[in-house]
Chains A and B, each alone.
Chain A
Amino acid sequence: GNSVTQMEGPVTLSEEAFLTINCTYTATGYPSLFWYVQYPGEGLQLLLKATKADDKGSNKGFEATYRKETTSFHLEKGSVQVSDSAVYFCALKSRGRDDKIIFGKGTRLHILP
């Protein structure tokens, strides 16, 4: 079945460091791919998405490119801030009648000032 695998956390970085959180997926067909973020005490917020191969999703300085050849959707940011500390979830949704979003386990990110 469909699944998402993302790097284990926690990830600890200093402010202004470069961030990569790896995510790979297994799916039939061409799913839509997402990154959700959960700030402390809050719900899941959609951070960015991509719906087809080679699409790049971007928001708040974060980017991820839909790589079909490597079945990956790695999250990157060039210079992280303390306010980026949160849990990041990679996710996919199959096209068609399938309603559910399938999530990875989440990666906790700590940014040190």
Chain B
Amino acid sequence: EPEVTQTPSHQVTQMGQEVILRCVPISNHLYFYWYRQILGQKVEFLVSFYNNEISEKSEIFDDQFSVERPDGSNFTLKIRSTKLEDSAMYFCASSFSGQLRETQYFGPGTRLLVL
């Protein structure tokens, strides 16, 4: 069964450094998403991406964040200058378009620790 994959599974970085989290969505899915879960808190929506542009973003997704689909298979989340409060589990998801868009398929997550 096709699945969303994410790399790395864990990342440790120093505050102020840039990180790039990578995702390979399910092929033939057209919508891509990033969510995050700070330890002990809810899973929160960050951004959705369709047709090579941001479709929707939350208040969390400020200028420090960017997303990109650099080729036909990868979908990345970049944090330009990490802060301590960016420490979280980051989930990538993908879905079909149209009526099937409501069902999003999630990857295993990348645990980011900012020191």
Query: A residues touching B (Cβ–Cβ < 8 Å)?
Result: 32, 36, 41-46, 49, 51, 89, 91, 93, 95, 97-106
Among A49, A99, A104, contact of B42 (Cβ-Cβ < 8 Å): A104
Tell me the total A-B contact number using a CB cutoff of 8 A.
53
Expressed in whole angstroms, the minimum distance between the Cβ of A89 and any Cβ of chain B is: 7
Interface residues of B toward A: which range?
Answer: 20 to 34
The B contact surface, by secondary structure, is: strand
A–B Cβ pairs within 8 angstroms, 28 of them: A41-B108, A43-B4, A43-B107, A43-B108, A44-B91, A44-B93, A44-B106, A46-B104, A46-B105, A51-B102, A89-B43, A93-B102, A97-B56, A99-B33, A99-B56, A99-B101, A100-B33, A100-B45, A100-B56, A100-B58, A101-B43, A101-B45, A102-B45, A103-B43, A105-B41, A105-B42, A106-B42, A106-B43
Q: Which 4 A-B pairs have the closest CB atoms?
A: A100-B45, A43-B108, A99-B48, A44-B106
Q: Which B-chain residue is minimally distant from A94 (CB atoms)? A: B102
- CA separation between A32 and B101, bound complex, in Å? 11
Question: Nearest residue in B to A99 (C-beta to C-beta)?
Answer: B48
Collect the chain A residues with CB atoms within 8 Å of residue B75's CB: none
> Whole-angstrom distance between the alpha carbons of A102 and B35 in the complex?
10
Q: How far is the CA of A89 from the CA of B104 in the complex (A)?
A: 14
B14 in the interface (beta carbon within 8 A): no
Q: Shortest distance in angstroms between B99's beta carbon and chain A's nearest beta carbon?
A: 9
Q: Are A45 and B55 in contact (CB under 8 A)?
A: no
Closest B residue to A3 using CB positions: B42
